[in-house]
Amino acid sequence: MNTKRVSKLVRELLLEIGEDPDRDGLKKTPERVAAAYRFLTAGYHTDIDSIVNGAVFEAAAHNMVIVRDVEIYSLCEHHMLPFFGKCHIGYITNNKVLGVSKLARIANGFARRLQIQERLTEQIAKAVRDTINAEGVGVVMECRHMCMMMRGVEKQNSVMTTSSVLGSFRSDPATRAEFNNLILRDASR
């Protein structure tokens, strides 16, 4: 990302909305916004192999592995406003497991792009499946969208829930039910 060009564009935006980009509080805002967007869109410059970084381990197991409440922060591609919430990721091992932090890193890799929640959920599920050849994968995401909260319909308490189920999570109702029960357990805490 060309941060000098983005800074210039932000300065132009400040002028367009009627602000003075040379006043004290805004003098460095164009550079700060450019740096923020570099961070918030870093997912465009990462790939799953570099995220996983070899943290796939042989394990003689066919268990369900779940990481709950992974914080998600992304930008809506329609308004470039944040959406945020939590992501629950589960998979059935097929003699391989992922280092636990890699699940959160995979989620971040896709979240740090302009996104829609529906696609983000699916991308995470497919990446986990493909990385370890999982027998099944389930991803559930619950997010609040600032484009719906602070503009438009202005609904403050709305939460969007999306899910993606692949493999045995799709074909076996008992597996899907176990996953849902485990991610819902202790949700009231």
List, for residues 33-91, the tens digit of each pLDDT value: 999 999 999 999 999 999 999 999 998 888 999 999 999 999 999 999 999 999 999 99
Which of 59-63, 110-114, 126-130, 137-141 bottoms out in mean pLDDT, i.e. has the lowest?
59-63
3-state secondary structure string across 106-120: HHHHHHCCEECHHHH
Taking the C-alpha atoms of residue 103 and residue 128, their distance in angstroms, rounded to an integer, is 7
DSSP 25: G
List, for residues 21-41, the tens digit of each pLDDT value: 999 999 999 999 999 999 999
The domains of the chain, with CATH numbers, are 3-40 (1.10.286.10), 54-184 (3.30.1130.10)
List, for residues 141-181, the tens digit of each pLDDT value: 999 999 999 999 999 999 999 999 999 999 999 999 999 99
Q: Quick one: average pLDDT of 101-106?
A: 97
Query: What pLDDT sits at residue 151?
Result: 92
Alpha carbon distances (Å) from 128 to 29, 50, 156, 168: 38, 14, 32, 14
Looking at the predicted structure, is the pLDDT value of residue 186 above 80? no
Give ∠ CA 53-118-104 in degrees, rounded to 5.
Answer: 25
